[in-house]
Structure formats: C-alpha cells, structure tokens
C-alpha cells in the first residue's frame, strides 16, 4: 500500500526533525520540509503531498495561516495546524482556512496519528461527497435538459393540437356560416321566385276569368304578367351568370370601350328612378382617359348594380356622384395603370365589420337587409366581373355619411 505523503512546514529545524521522525515512525512518508510561508506554497505546488502539517508561528512576513490561505486557494490539500500556544485570535483566523486539525506542540505520537488519520478520512469523505454532488449536479442538468426537451416537445405537440383544434373550430364556424348563408339564400330565393310566379299565375287567372272585360283591364293584367316574368327572368339570369363566373365558363368580349360612355348610358336608364326620389346627381367630365379594354356589357352591369343600390338606399333629396381618377399600383415588378371609378352616396352606410363580406354571395348588409327579400347576388356578380378583368372592387364608409363603392380596371387587358 502506498504511504501517505506529508509536507512539514516548520521554521525551527530541531522541531521539524522531531516531527519528521514521529511521522516516519508512524508509517508516513515525509516528502519535504519548508521553513517559510513562501517556501511552503512552492513545495505544496511541486510535491503535491497528501497532507500538510503547518506551524502557525512562522518567521517572516507570512505566518502559517496566510500560507494555508494561499495553498487552499490553489488546491484542496488537507492541512493540520501545529502551534505552541492555543491563542483564541489565531484559532479564529485558522478556522477560516477550513483546516482538518489543530494540535498543540509538543505533539504526542498517539494524538498525531489520530489527527492525521481523521484528517485523511475526512478528506476522502469530502472527495466522495464532492464527487457525488458533481454527479448529482450533472444528473440534475441532464434531467433539466431532458425535461426542457420533453417540455418543448409537449409544447410543440400541444401547439399543433391547438392549431388543429382551432382549424377545426374555424372550419366548423365557416361551415355553420356557409350553412346559415345558404339557409338565408334559400329563404330569399324562394321568396323572390314565388312572388313573381304567384303574380304571373294570379294575373293570368284574372285574365282567363275576366276575358270579357274591357281591353284596358286585360292590358293591365298582361302588363303585370310581363313585369313579373321579367323580374323572374332577371333573377334566373343572375343565378346563371354567377354560376358561370364562379366555374370560369363566362365569356368576356374584351374590346377598347369608353367607360365614361358606359356610365352615361347607365345614368340615362336610371334617370327616372333618380328623379322620382328627387336626388341630386353629379357626374363630372373626367380629365383623364376613360378608354379601357373591357367587356362593355359586363362593366355596364357593374355600374348599373352600384348605381341602383346607391339610388335605392339614399334618402330623398340627398346626393349621389360618380368620380373617375387614375390608379397606379404595382403588379409584380411592373407598375400597372388602372382607371378607378367610384359611386359615392349619402345613404345608410355599411357596418365596418361588413365592408368585405357584402361582396360574398348570398350576403346582404345588415343595414340594407329588409323583409322584402333580395338575394344578395348583385355585389357578388360585380366582384366576379371586376376580378375577371384583373381589377378589384371595395367599399368604404364616407366621413360625412353614406358609402363609396369603388372598382379599378387595368387600362390594358390580354385580348383572347
């Protein structure tokens, strides 16, 4: 078994030799002796002993306690202090260096043996404890890493699950909304279809029953039948047009047309409705080109729908105006010049939350929806027509009241 190596620090030569003799007789190996604190620090660093016996009262600038502080700062070698006097102040200072023993000189072999063995045992216990603490620390760090990794994985899984749940919730809400819209559409379309059909049947019945009545009465019946049939035909045409547009089967005749002319013709068609409500209508001559590659009839359909709505929902003696301006936007890397047309009314306006949804099919604004029916197809058709022209359509409320419906059409289109 390898002997325990001990460094003796003692400034009295004779005492150092006595301690060395005692240690050897007890079975220890004395690796070196040092007389000063500086020498003790150097010897401890070079010899790396298993234990140091340190005289507290060393001569020179550094006593044994100071030397012990420096040694313990660099290594964990156990130190046993030796002193001829058990002074209270020195004992307090020595405690701060965490010594492994304190003996009063002269030292008996038995006391020296017991103190050294206890110091070595305590040192081994401390090493095992430090090793266990290090292992525990490492295990805790590994556990924390695993917990963090597992937590992150669980959070990711929870996040994915939450996204799925939110997606399902959104899908369910959208499905419910779509179902509600379809329900409302079916109710409205039933009303719209049944009303003119009922009038056709009723007036044709009157005509049959009262065929001998004066011609003026019969002419009235036939006129009512014709009006109802036209209304029914317009409704069916809207349904057919929207279906063809959404399926991409609608044909567009793209030619260079003057949108200002389209607006003028539409205004002429609706002039009686404007005058009937005594509305102030303003259409300024545009100072820009209004020649656009478009489908004359389809763009007219958009203008007619927007102007009809403005007339319908603007109170009597209020105003409507139509304005043109040039719109410049970026299309990929190129600037795209478009013609912007706006229909500005002084009507009831649109709730902010519905400015986008009013263009959805089967949808009507809550401010303009009435018990009299209405399919909510007009703005959907406008949206599809403008989209097919490579433009966009939108609605916004006016600060002074009412709403503005605007759409842009690129000046140039690819003609098939």
**Which one-letter DSSP state was computed for residue 370?**
B
Looking at the chain, the whole-number percentage of residues with pLDDT higher than 70 is: 80
Rounded distance, CA 129 to CA 364, Å? 79
Q: Which residue's entry shows tokens 């005058």?
A: 275
259: helix, strand or coil: helix
Quickly count: other Cβ atoms within 10 Å of residue 161's Cβ: 10
Query: Which of 117 and 329 is assigned the larger pLDDT?
Result: 117
User: What pLDDT score does 198 carry?
Assistant: 65
CATH architecture of 170-246: Orthogonal Bundle (1.10)
What angle (nearest 5°) sits at the alpha carbon of residue 127, between those of residues 124 and 131? 140
User: What pLDDT score does 415 carry?
Assistant: 47
Q: 373: pLDDT confidence band, cut at 50, 70 and 90?
A: very low
User: What pLDDT score does 234 carry?
Assistant: 61
Query: Half-sphere exposure of 125 toward its Cβ, with a 13 Å CA cutoff?
Result: 7
Find the mean pLDDT for residues 318-322: 95
pLDDT one-digit tens code per residue, 212-260: 667 777 677 677 777 667 666 666 666 666 676 667 778 889 999 999 9
Whether pLDDT at 272 is above 70: yes
Whether pLDDT at 174 is above 80: no
User: What pLDDT score does 250 carry?
Assistant: 83
pLDDT one-digit tens code per residue, 281-313: 999 889 899 999 999 999 999 999 999 999 999
3-state secondary structure 215-254: HHHHHHHHHHHHHHHHHHHHHHHHHHHHHHHHCCCCCCCC
Find the mean pLDDT for residues 70-82: 91
Whether pLDDT at 191 is above 60: no
What angle (nearest 5°) sits at the alpha carbon of residue 20, between those of residues 15 and 22? 95
Domain range list for the chain: 5-107, 170-246, 255-410
Find the mean pLDDT for residues 325-333: 75
Find the mean pLDDT for residues 404-409: 96
| Sign for the pseudo-dihedral over CA of 224, 228, 233, 234 | positive
| CATH placement of domain 255-410 | 3.30.565.10
Q: 179: pLDDT confidence band, cut at 50, 70 and 90?
A: low
CATH superfamily of this structure's domain 5-107: Response regulator (3.40.50.2300)
Burial of 336 (0-12, 13-18, 19+ CB in 10 A): middle
Q: 61: pLDDT confidence band, cut at 50, 70 and 90?
A: confident
Rounded distance, CA 325 to CA 284, Å? 11
User: What pLDDT score does 371 carry?
Assistant: 43
pLDDT one-digit tens code per residue, 5-60: 999 999 999 999 999 999 999 999 999 999 999 999 999 999 999 999 999 988 88
Pick from 100, 123, 384, 402: which is nearest to 243 by CA? 384
User: What pLDDT score does 372 carry?
Assistant: 39
What is the average pLDDT score of the chain?
A: 84
pTM of the model: 0.49
In this structure, of 85-89, 374-378, 390-394, the range with the lowest mean pLDDT score is: 374-378
User: What pLDDT score does 232 carry?
Assistant: 67
Pick from 106, 108, 110, 43: which is nearest to 79 by CA? 43
Looking at the chain, the whole-number percentage of residues with pLDDT higher than 90 is: 45
Burial 106-137 (b: 16+ CB within 10 A, else e): ebeeeebbebbeebbeebeeeeeeeeeeeeee
Are 170-246 and 255-410 the same fold in CATH? no
User: What pLDDT score does 60 carry?
Assistant: 82
Find the mean pLDDT for residues 64-72: 92
């Amino acid at each position: 078994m390898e002997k325990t190596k001990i460094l003796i620090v003692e400034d009295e030569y004779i005492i150092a030799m006595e301690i060395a003799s005692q240690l050897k007789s007890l079975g220890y190996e004395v690796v070196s002796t040092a007389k000063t604190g500086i020498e003790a620090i150097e010897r401890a660093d070079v010899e790396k002993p298993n234990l140091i016996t340190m005289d507290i009262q060393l001569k020179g600038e550094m006593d044994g306690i100071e030397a012990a502080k420096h040694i313990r700062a660099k290594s964990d070698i156990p130190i046993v202090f030796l002193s001829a006097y058990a002074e209270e102040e020195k004992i307090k200072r020595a405690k701060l260096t965490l010594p492994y023993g304190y003996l009063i000189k002269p030292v008996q072999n038995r006391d020296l043996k017991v103190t050294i063995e206890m110091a070595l045992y305590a040192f081994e216990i401390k090493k095992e404890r430090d090793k266990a603490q290090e292992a525990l620390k490492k295990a805790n760090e590994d556990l924390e890493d695993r917990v963090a990794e597992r937590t992150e994985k669980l959070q990711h899984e929870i996040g994915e699950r939450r996204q799925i749940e939110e997606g399902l919730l959104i899908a369910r809400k959208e499905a419910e909304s779509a179902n509600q819209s379809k329900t409302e559409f079916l109710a409205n379309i039933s009303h719209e279809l049944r009303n003119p059909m009922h009038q056709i049947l009723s007036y044709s019945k009157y005509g049959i029953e009262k065929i001998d009545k004066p011609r003026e009465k019969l002419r009235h019946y036939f006129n009512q039948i014709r009006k109802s049939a036209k209304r029914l035909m317009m409704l069916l045409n809207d349904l057919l047009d929207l279906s063809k547009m959404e399926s991409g089967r609608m044909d567009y005749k793209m030619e260079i047309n003057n949108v200002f002319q389209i607006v003028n013709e539409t205004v002429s068609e609706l002039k009686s409705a404007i005058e009937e409500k005594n509305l102030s209508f303003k259409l300024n001559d545009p100072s820009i080109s209004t020649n656009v590659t478009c489908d004359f009839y389809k763009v007219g359909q958009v203008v007619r729908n927007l102007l009809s709505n403005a007339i319908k929902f603007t109170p009597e003696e209020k105003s409507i105006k139509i304005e043109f301006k040039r719109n410049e936007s970026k299309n990929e890397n190129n600037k795209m010049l478009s013609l912007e047309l706006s229909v500005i009314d002084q009507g009831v306006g649109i709730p902010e939350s519905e400015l986008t949804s009013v263009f959805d099919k089967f949808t009507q604004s809550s401010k303009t929806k009435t018990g009299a029916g209405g399919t909510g197809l007009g703005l959907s058709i406008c949206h599809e027509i403008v989209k097919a022209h490579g433009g966009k359509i939108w609605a916004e409320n006016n600060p002074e009241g009412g709403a503005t419906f605007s759409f842009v059409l690129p000046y140039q289109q690819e003609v098939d």
